[in-house]
Structures are given as C-alpha cells and as structure tokens.
Structure 1
Amino acid sequence: MKLKALALALVTLLPAVASAHQAGDFFIRAGSATVRPTGGSDNVLGLGEFDVSNNTQLGLTFTYMATDNIGIELLGATPFRHKVGLAATGTLATVHQLPPTLMAQWYFMGNTSKWQPYAGIGINYTMFYDTDFNQTGRDNGLSNLSVKNTWGIAGQVGLDYQLTPNWMLNASLWYMNIDTKVRFDAGSDHQSIDTHINPFVFFFGAGYRF
C-alpha cells in the first residue's frame, strides 16, 4: 500500500513539472535587456573609431513551442538609445534603434525538468532612426547623419526556471551581427563609415505560459 501511495503521489506531481515547456505552448517573457556593443568602425576623420554606448530597455520575447524541444522566438524591445562619439571629441550624436530578431531554439530538457537550458540561432533586422548630431557635433561642422538599416545573424543561450506551471524566471545572452554604414557630411565632404556594432544583449526577466 505504501508503494502504491508513493507511485500515486509521483504521478500527481508529474503534470506540474511536465507542463513547463511542451508542444503547443505559447509564452511571453519580459525584463531588462542591456545592449553592449563590442565592435568598432573604420577611422573617422583621422580621429579613431566610433565609440557606441551601452543602453538598457524593456525587452520582450514571444515564444511558441513547435515540439517539446523546438521553440520559435521573436525578440522585441522598447527603442534603444545609444550615444556615439570619438575619444578626441566625446559624444557627437544620439542614435535610436530597434533590433527585432527571430530565433529557432533547442530546449535540451524537453518537458522533463523545471530547469530549461536552451540555445538558438536566427536572423536579426536592425532599424535605425531619429539620428542626430548634438551641439558638439554641429560645432565640429558635422551634419546630415544617417545610419543604414541592416540584416545579420544572431545566436543565443538561455535558461528558464519554472516557478509554477505558468510562471518562470529567465536569463539569456544574445549575440547579434550588426554591420552598418554611418553617413554624414563633414563640411563639404561626404563621409561613409563602416561601423561594426555587434552587441551582446543581456536579458533578465520573468515569463508567463498561456
């Protein structure tokens, strides 16, 4: 009788664990997303490479589980705002960007554990807008700033921990290949600078399964 009672208790507990991630699930995660550029640029006016600042915004991910192990995820966020400058001049401009990214993911534990490590690979499209030189830039004779939108490859690793059948905690690390062109006028000369942002994105948040 004791063995039967124990087996029944285990069977009762299984759905709570197995409901973590399984085929047909849809869940949303929200939290802080910090973009940390790692690249540089071609030499700018003989003054060195562009420096692009970090920025933290609200990150959102939307995930559909096609199978117990395969997820499709879309990354979104509130607009990121980066200061761009040179070591010799300080900040020259502000640039806003949105980097929607679509990922195919592999969840290593299926629906068998509350711990859900995963990895993904996908494609990123970065949209730049509201780009403008500040007073320092204008005082240095710079004008007509634009940044080219760009496609690139993205990768990620992450970990979910299931708190309840519906709620989870999440931490993930993304890498995005963002190579673009920064165009502007320096007096009467038109400049086109190859710029490699290539950021790591650190995400910490919570998720809810529907």
Structure 2
Amino acid sequence: MRKSLLTLSLLAMAVAAPLAQAYQAGDILVRAGAITVDPQENSSDIWVGALNSNVAGTKASLNSDTQLGLNFAYMLNDHLGIELLAATPFTHDVGVKGMPGAFAGLNGKLGELKQLPPTLSLVYYPLDGGSRFQPYVGAGINYTWFFDDKLSSEAETKGFRGLDMEDSWGLAAQLGMDYMLGENLLINGQVRYIDIDTTGTTSFAGQKVKVDVEVDPWVYMVGLGYRF
C-alpha cells in the first residue's frame, strides 16, 4: 500500500513539474563561460626584404588562449535564432621557426598580439516539444580585430622593429547543445570553426619581413546560460 502511494505521489509530482519547453519566438538567450581559441595555423614561407625572397621552410606560429566567452541569441521563431559571439580579448604569442644559418637566431618568440573575433550567426534548433536537450547548428560571418601588436624585447635586440597583423573577415560554422536545468537555466557546450586569414609584417635591418597566415582556429566553449 505504501509503495503504491509513493509511486502515485512521484507520478503526480512528475506530471505537476513544469517541463523544459523548446525555444520560442522572442526568447533571449544569454550564455557565458570559458572559451578557447586554438589556432590551426598554416603560414606561407616568410618573405625577407633583405634577401628579396621567401625563405623556404620558414613558418609563423600562434599559440592558443582561453578567455571569458559570451553569447547573445534572439529567437526569430521556434527554430531559428540569430546569435552574436563575443569575448574578452585573446592574447597570442607570435613565433618564427625554420630560419636557417645566419638567420637562425631569429627563431623563437617574435612578439604577441591581442584579438577579438565577434561572430554573427544564424542558428537552427531542430527539436520540438519539451525536450531538455536542445542541439543546434549555425553558420555566419566573423570579423577578427588584431590590436596591441608588439615585439618581444628579444626580437627588438635582434634588430626587429614594429609588428602589425591585418584584420580579417571570414565565414564561421558551429555545432552546439543546450541542456535545460530548469525552465530558464541551462548548460551549454559548443564548437566552432572560423576562417581567419591575416598578413603579419615587421622589419629587420630596415627591410620588410612579411608572412601570410591562415589562422583558421577551432573555438571551444563550455558555460552556463539563461533564457529570458
């Protein structure tokens, strides 16, 4: 008898408990968490003005960085939303490798830069009903702003002067998921691929040094969100 009453009570509570509803037109989603930009850089050979040619086998490199990531999404209807990715500035070391012979001393950390990659995407949520799990896919456009570029003290003592990275426009794609912890609170995970192409320039012994870099990072974010 007690078992039956307990079962009926649990069923009643389950029926009475509000289900996590699928997103609806007009919903605003705000997500925040740790976001990592992991460059998969592929650079051209470095062009050295003093030689008036590319130096075969030389490359530029960028390391990864983790910052605070922010997502702001607005649901246009029950399945489509528009989303803006923002973050606190990322800092990346800029390296040079593969310089041969008399230029080998130039290898290592050249400097560092900061960047912001705001990305605007159209996002599709396929599920209906009261599913707590809400996967989504999105695509959009990215603008990456490089700023505060500066050489390392070691590079300056070796004769380098100035560092500049060109800003970039490119496409972006993402996969993600929300899991509703309640009516409004959610946990989020997402991964993006962003097309970022830039050209870095500096000077050495009064001559320009230039390299084209396909940064093309994978971007990972895990965090919490709230639906308004």
The question of a shared fold, defined as TM-score above 0.5 by the shorter chain, is answered with yes
User: Which piece of structure 1 moves more, 158-167 or 181-190?
Assistant: 181-190
Number of equivalent positions: 204
Query: In the alignment, what sits opposite 2:80?
Result: 70
**Equivalent pairs: percent with the same residue?**
40
Query: In the alignment, what sits opposite 2:104?
Result: none
Q: Does 1:17 align with 2:20?
A: yes
Look up the SS of the partner of 2:26 in the other structure: coil
Structure-1 separation of matches of 2:62 and 2:124: 32
Q: Does 1:164 align with 2:167?
A: no
Query: In the alignment, what sits opposite 2:218?
Result: 200
Q: In the alignment, is the contact (CA less than 8 A) between 1:70 and 1:104 conserved in 2?
A: yes
Please identify runs of 4+ aligned residues in structure 1 that moved more than 4 A.
Answer: 7-13
Q: CA RMSD in A?
A: 2.0
Q: Which amino acid counterpart does residue 99 of structure 1 have in structure 2?
A: P
Structure-2 separation of matches of 1:203 and 1:111: 26
Q: In the alignment, is the contact (CA less than 8 A) between 2:19 and 2:130 conserved in 1?
A: no
Alignment of 1:1-210 (within 5 A): 12-13=16-17, 16-18=19-21, 20-44=22-46, 45=48, 46=55, 48-87=58-97, 89-210=107-228
TM value normalised by structure 1: 0.90
How far is the alpha carbon of 1:118 from its aligned partner? 0.4
Q: In the alignment, is the contact (CA less than 8 A) between 1:31 and 1:206 conserved in 2?
A: yes
How far is the alpha carbon of 1:140 from its aligned partner? 2.3
How far is the alpha carbon of 1:200 from its aligned partner? 0.3
Runs (5+) with no aligned partner, structure 2: 1-10, 49-54, 99-106
Look up the SS of the partner of 1:21 in the other structure: coil
Structure label with greater radius of gyration = 2
Structure-2 separation of matches of 1:34 and 1:110: 31
Q: In the alignment, is the contact (CA less than 8 A) between 2:60 and 2:211 conserved in 1?
A: no
Runs (5+) with no aligned partner, structure 1: 1-6
